[in-house]
Chains A and B, each alone.
Chain A
Amino acid sequence: MAERKIRVLVAKPGLDGHDRGAKVVARALRDAGMEVIYTGLRQTPEMIAESALQEDVDAVGLSILSGAHMALVPRVLDLLRANGQENVRVFIGGIIPDEDTPRLLEMGVSGVYGPGTPTDTIVNDIRRSVLGSAEISE
């Protein structure tokens, strides 16, 4: 009974202490049938990469409200690559200025989501990028 479950790590890097958004997304991914590893507040990029490795996740969701995304995200991406996890998709949520989004995508981020994004959008994007668009019927 081979079963493909999408596993997603949801983490909050940096120092801001507000994780309501991360929890809402985690809950939406759960309701979409995914297994969500929730690691909580104030994670360092090293902690996030280590958790992603041990849990062998398909995707990492980072919630960042502090404005430190241009420092934190490249660090996470580098560590994932260094660990051999270049295939892990990285999604960013939180307060990200519009002009930073193209640069984040260029670095290798798979999606950037600001406040008010319907959770269905995030769910479908993760599913599509992990499983390949062929298997999605919306």
Chain B
Amino acid sequence: MDLVHAVLEGNRLALARLLTQVENGTVQGRQALEALFPHTGRAHLIGVTGPPGTGKSSLVNQLALQIRRSDPPRKVAIVAVDPSSPFTGGAILGDRVRMRDLSGDPGVFIRSMASRGSLGGLAHATSSVVQALDAAGFQVILIETVGAGQAEVDIARLAHTVLVVEAPGLGDDIQAIKAGILEIADILVINKADLSGVEATERALLSMLQLAHPAPRIFANQREHHHLAWDENPKDLESVETWIPPVQRTVAVEGDGVTELAGLIAQHVAYLQKTGGWEQREQARLQSELDELLRQALVRRWRDTVPEAHYTQVLQRLLDRQISPWQAVAELVNGGEA
């Protein structure tokens, strides 16, 4: 397939067009992804998430510059997700405004994505777009989520290393102990650290970390699967050093703290490689992708077996309050025409 070869050879226009196909869920895009899949699994995926306005884009800009300065310089791709309007489906994708320092560098590729109705902080196609960039030879992929509040944690399924970016003055210590976004941080960044209130924010985050039970960072639903090593041999946990998320202050517009942050990211990679966490995250990611595709395929296959009239009729009885949603499901799955 031409597109695939062109992408593997580093043709940027071919890559850009492939990403559009992938984003639009076309057959051509899917076939290309299948052909590219053996070339994936090499990139370090770094997620950058946090509330709106904390400076994620500026930080991504600085991190990319830092990675490009490393020796040898590694190729960097950036996937920046911004929200789609729930009403019109339109979007303003504005992350590039903060990334102008990166223009003109052929070792950098930036792609903006609209969330297109997905609520977890990423778009449905983000993981596929990341796979395509991985296959195209980008060694580091920075994934910037939509401005995320508390529950947009999809990025933790996708990335090897998750940075959660906070800024001074965004909440008290109760916010810090809530479940959700802070839990998924491998590294906590306090950006805009030149603003007043930075000490209080740092204190709240550090005390949250001290309180946190050092738990392996695998999703609850993944733990149910018996073959994940963490649950099979809980004793192993004690022999393995535990990663306590460090807190790093930065001032992204000035570049302050970015070298240190890059150092922490390198430490996290070393930790993942030493402890087997890297493979574990790969497995968790591919497994959740497999499960999701399986779910879609099974629903589609099942749907084909149900006559439209029957489905409509059950739906109508549900709308008339004759049956409950649970009864409707029972009827569609077990009874009725089946």
Given A5-B89, A30-B85, A40-B97, A56 contacting B20 (CB threshold 8 A):
yes
Q: Check if A37 is an interface residue, CB within 8 A of chain B.
A: yes
Contacting residues of chain B (83-118) with chain A, CB-CB under 8 angstroms: 84-85, 88-94, 96-97, 100, 103-104, 109-112, 114, 116
- The yes or no answer to B26 lying at the interface (CB within 8 A) is yes
What is the CA–CA distance of A7 and B111 in the complex, to the nearest angstrom?
Answer: 12
Residue of B nearest to A83 (CB): B13
Q: Which residue of A lies closest to B80 (CB)?
A: A37
A97 to chain B, nearest CB (A): 29
Q: Residue A50 at the B interface, CB < 8 A?
A: yes
Mask of A15-48 contacts with B, CB within 8 angstroms, 1/0: 0000000000011011111111111100100110
Most chain-B Cβ atoms within 10 A of its Cβ — which of A27, A37, A43?
A37
Kindly supply a per-residue 1/0 record for chain A positions 75-118, scoring 1 wherever the CB is within 8 Å of any chain B CB and 0 otherwise.
00000000111000000000000000000000000000000000
Q: How far is the CA of A35 from the CA of B85 in the complex (A)?
A: 10
Check: B24 CB closer than 8 A to any chain A CB.
yes
- In Å, the complex CA distance between A27 and B94 comes to 12
Contact count A vs B, C-beta below 8 Å: 87
A2 touches B (CB below 8 Å):
yes
Contact of B19 with A by CB under 8 A: yes
Chain A residues, Cβ within 8 Å of B12 = 53-54
Name which residue of chain A comes closest to B26, CB basis.
A2
Flag whether B16 is at the interface (Cβ < 8 A): yes
Cβ of A93 to closest chain B Cβ, rounded Å: 16
Contact B97 A4 (CB under 8 A): no
Residues of A near B110 (CB, < 8 A) are 51, 54
Among candidates B13, B19, B89, B109, residue contacting A33 with C-beta atoms closer than 8 Å: B89
Q: Out of A31, A39, A47, A51, which one reaches B88, CB within 8 Å?
A: A31
Whether the Cβ atoms of B96 and A1 lie closer than 8 Å is no
| Residue of A with least CB distance to B84 | A35
Contact B114–A35 (Cβ < 8 Å): yes
Instruction: Return the contact of A85 from the options B13, B20, B27, B84 (Cβ within 8 A).
Output: B13
Pairwise interchain contact A30-B24, C-beta atoms closer than 8 A: no
Knowing A54-B16, A55-B16, A56-B17, the reply to whether A1 touches B25 (Cβ < 8 A) is: yes
Shortest Cβ distance from residue B21 to the other chain A in the assembled complex, whole angstroms:
9
Contacts of A29 in B (CB 8 A): 90
Contacts of A40 in B (CB 8 A): 94, 96-97, 100
B12 vs chain A, min Cβ distance (A): 6
A27 touches B92 (CB 8 A): yes
Alpha-carbon distance A83/B109, docked complex (angstroms): 15
A47, B100: Cβ atoms under 8 Å?
yes
Query: Which residues from chain A contact B90 at a C-beta distance below 8 Å?
Result: 29-36
Complex Cα–Cα for A32 and B85 (A):
10
Chain A residues, CB < 8 A from B91: 30, 35-36
Among residues of A, the one whose C-beta sits closest to the C-beta of B124 is: A1
A138 CB-CB contact with B under 8 Å: no
Chain B residues near A51 (CB-CB < 8 A): 96, 103, 110
User: A82: shortest Cβ distance to chain B, in Å?
Assistant: 11
Which residues of A have CB within 8 Å of B97? Answer: 38-40
- Is A38's CB under 8 angstroms from B92's CB? yes
Please give 19 more A-B residue pairs, beta carbons under 8 A apart, in addition to A30-B92, A33-B89, A36-B93.
A2-B27, A5-B24, A30-B85, A31-B85, A32-B90, A34-B90, A37-B112, A39-B100, A40-B94, A43-B100, A47-B104, A50-B103, A51-B96, A53-B12, A54-B110, A54-B111, A56-B17, A83-B13, A85-B13
Identify 15 residue pairs between A and B in the complex whose beta-carbon atoms are under 8 Å apart, listed by A's number: A5-B89, A26-B92, A29-B90, A30-B92, A31-B88, A32-B88, A35-B84, A36-B92, A37-B112, A38-B97, A39-B96, A40-B94, A53-B16, A54-B110, A83-B13
